[in-house]
């Protein structure tokens, strides 16, 4: 069976001992399809927090949380902090209740963007077929991309991960499979510093007992709808003929049937016809608190701004998305005078309809999106990008919105 060492990247015929014959490391992988798979999902581990630990070794073993300390929300939590139940988008006061000794650091978005670009360039050194998903994750196709490296895809990606660790000083986890859907699932199975393989022969068995929410496009509302029809696991879904799913759920039903069978025809595409970029979060408990809603919106705005920057787009329209406790979706689009990639502009624009829509309603989800995308060259002057965000206090803006103090003018339409 083919084997690979994750430390020295040697390839070998895996034996029963499981150790690398070259360096003796126990961090090895053995899989019958190891040399046949070429679709990769690379996801940097606790990206913001890991960068902060890299830059301050005193934080190595400390629980580190990135975000606004006063009335803010968690943007990122290291793996030490996650042991206390801290996660992204959690109100900071809750995070500190769970772990009072956590080190809370303000985000340094300019630094994170620079590191993201550095990682992206290393990826492109392996294959030109790199499809960014966000500042810290991407799909790679190591089969069709032209490369001077003739090594098997698994060895090439192991070399990439080692180079990220050595040159950038952060870690990443890898999912290797035969399509994007399964590669993305695999990358999340063994974090941090994981390298997980899902092959064709095991895919259906692997998926069978997994909840339907694991499938792309299945959010809380669709999951609830599927559960109402007795579909809770992927095997439940697989037991229903595709025409029945198509009749019941439309085009979504066809996609669900394909994913449930381990199929995904999407190609890794470095140039995508992107129509919109968005980010959203679901609350642990439904809330009508406008300040909580506004605070949760800021890290989402930062996420969208980062993805706009990494993909070379700017937003002409900002979209606010809300989902009520009764699963009713509300969206409002706000056209802005000049296209932007700034988190602050996205955030402040979305605050306006948020203040008008809240009105005591309880919400389970909030999101922000960028649409009417144009090239980045039509947006904010490069020398100003980021500085405005770094000086911005989102907690103060959230309090102002909650108290009715947000008075920015902009056109809004349903």
Catalytic residues: 137
- The pair of structure tokens assigned to 3 is 């084997």
- The pair of structure tokens assigned to 278 is 């968005």
Angle at 267 between CA 264 and CA 270, to 5 degrees: 145
Residue 278 pairs with which residues in a beta bridge?
A: 369
Residue 60, burial from CB neighbour count under 10 angstroms (0-12, 13-18, 19+): exposed
- What ranges in 231-342 are assigned the alpha helix state H? 234-238, 242-249, 251-260, 290-311
370-406: b (≥16 Cβ within 10 Å) or e: bbbbeebeebbeeeebbeebeebebbebbbbbbeeeb
With contact defined as beta carbons under 8 Å apart, do 87 and 146 qualify? no
Rg (CA), the chain: 22
Determine the Cα–Cα distance for residues 157 and 151; give it in Å rounded to an integer.
Answer: 10
Determine the Cα–Cα distance for residues 159 and 141; give it in Å rounded to an integer.
Answer: 15
With contact defined as beta carbons under 8 Å apart, do 398 and 355 qualify? no
Residue found by looking up tokens 């809370």 in the block: 104
> What does the longest C-alpha to C-alpha distance in the chain come to?
68
With contact defined as beta carbons under 8 Å apart, do 268 and 139 qualify? yes
- The pair of structure tokens assigned to 137 is 């994750």
């Amino acid at each position: 069976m083919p084997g690979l060492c994750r430390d020295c990247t040697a390839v070998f015929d895996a034996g029963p001992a499981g150790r690398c014959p070259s360096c003796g490391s126990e961090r090895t992988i053995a899989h019958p399809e190891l040399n046949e798979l070429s679709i990769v999902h690379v996801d940097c581990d606790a990206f913001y927090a890991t960068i902060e630990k890299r830059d301050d070794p005193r934080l190595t073993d400390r629980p580190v949380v990135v975000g606004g300390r006063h009335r803010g929300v968690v943007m990122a939590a290291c793996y030490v902090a996650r042991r206390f139940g801290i996660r992204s988008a959690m109100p900071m006061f809750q995070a500190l209740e769970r772990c009072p000794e956590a080190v809370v650091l303000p985000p340094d978005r300019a630094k994170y963007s620079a590191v993201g670009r550095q990682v992206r360039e290393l990826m492109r050194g392996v294959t030109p077929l790199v499809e960014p998903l966000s500042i810290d994750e991407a799909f790679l196709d190591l089969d069709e991309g032209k490369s001077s490296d003739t090594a098997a895809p698994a060895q090439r990606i192991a070399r990439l991960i080692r180079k990220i660790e050595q040159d950038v000083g952060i870690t990443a986890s890898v999912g290797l499979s035969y399509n994007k859907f399964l590669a993305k699932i695999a990358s999340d199975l063994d974090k941090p510093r994981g390298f997980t393989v899902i092959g064709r022969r095991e895919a259906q068995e692997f998926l069978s007992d997994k909840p339907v929410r694991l499938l792309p496009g299945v959010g809380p509302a669709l999951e609830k709808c599927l559960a109402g029809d007795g579909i809770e696991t992927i095997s439940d879904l697989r037991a229903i003929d595709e025409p029945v799913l198509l009749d019941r759920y439309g085009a979504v039903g066809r996609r669900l049937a394909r994913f449930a069978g381990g199929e995904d025809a999407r190609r890794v595409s470095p140039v995508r016809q992107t129509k919109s970029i968005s980010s959203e979060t679901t609350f642990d408990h439904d809330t009508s608190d406008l300040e909580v809603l506004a605070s949760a919106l800021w890290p989402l705005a930062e996420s969208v701004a980062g993805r706009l920057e990494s993909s070379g787009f700017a937003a002409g329209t900002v979209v606010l998305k809300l989902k009520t406790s009764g699963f009713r979706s509300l969206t409002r689009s706000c056209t802005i005078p000049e296209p932007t990639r700034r988190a602050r502009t996205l955030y402040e624009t979305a605050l306006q309809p948020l203040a008008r829509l809240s009105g005591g309603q309880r919400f389970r989800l909030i999101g922000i999106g960028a649409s009417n995308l144009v090239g980045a060259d039509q947006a904010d002057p490069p020398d100003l990008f980021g500085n405005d965000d770094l000086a911005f206090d989102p907690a103060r803006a959230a309090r102002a919105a909650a108290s009715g103090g947000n008075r920015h003018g902009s056109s809004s339409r349903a």
